[in-house]
Amino acid sequence: MDTDQQKWDERYRTKALVLPTPMPFVSNSLSLAQPGCVLDLACGDAASALYFARRGFDVVAADISGEALERVHYFARMLGVSIRTVQLDLDSDDWLDILNEVHPGLINNIVVTRYKPSQALWHQLAQRLAPEGMLMLTTYNMQQHQLHGFNADYCLQPAEYTGVDPLLSLRYSASVKDGDDRLDEYIFCRPDGA
C-alpha cells in the first residue's frame, strides 16, 4: 500500500459519517450535464456522485482510498441509489485499465472537485470523454495557498487550464470564493468530431 493511499484511508477511517453535500459548482452545473454516465474522479465522500445518482445518472465513483469508497457505499445505501465504485491511483500507469473493468468505453460527464489533475491525466480524461461530453472541475487556486498556506503544488495558477487539451473546448471558467476556500472553476466540452 502506498503512502497516499494510507494517508487518505486514515483520514476517511476517522471522519464522522455525515452525508456530504455537493459543492454549489456541481449543483449549478447540472443543467449542462449530458445524459448517461458520470465519473466522479478522486471522489472522496462522493458528494458529486451521490448528487448525480439521486438524479438518475449512471454513476461511477473513483478514489485511491478504499475507506472513502466504503463510505460511498454506506451513503448510497442510505439514499437508496446505486453507485459503482473503483479504487485507483491516478498516478499509476494502469488506472485506465482498472476503470475499464468497471465502465468500458466513453464517459458522458467527468466531475473533479478539490483535486488537481496532472497534464498527462488531463489528456487521458479528454480521450475518455464522449463527444458532446462535459468535464467539470473545481479546485483550489493560488489564493488558497496565499491566504491559508495550502500546499502550492495542489493549487491552480491563474488561467492554468484555459487551453489544457486540444480535444476540449472551454465553456466556462471563473475564480470563486466558497466560504473560506478560494477555487477556480472550469467547464469543458468535447465537441462532436474532436
In a domain, 73, yes or no: yes
In a domain, 11, yes or no: no
In a domain, 4, yes or no: no
Secondary structure of residue 31 in the 3-state scheme: helix
Amino acid found at 23: M
In a domain, 13, yes or no: no
Give the integer Cα–Cα distance in Å for 92 and 51.
28
Secondary structure of residue 108 in the 3-state scheme: strand
pTM for the complete prediction? Answer: 0.94
Give the integer Cα–Cα distance in Å for 157 and 160.
5
Number of domains making up the chain: 1
Please say if the pLDDT value at position 2 is more than 90. no
The domain of 184 spans 31-189
In a domain, 18, yes or no: no
Is-contact 66 77, C-beta < 8 A?
Answer: no
pLDDT, tens digit (0-9, with 9 covering 90-100), for 70-123? 999 999 999 999 999 999 999 888 898 899 999 999 999 999 999 999 888 999
Amino acid found at 44: G
pLDDT, tens digit (0-9, with 9 covering 90-100), for 5-62? 999 999 999 999 999 999 999 999 999 999 999 999 999 999 999 999 999 999 999 9
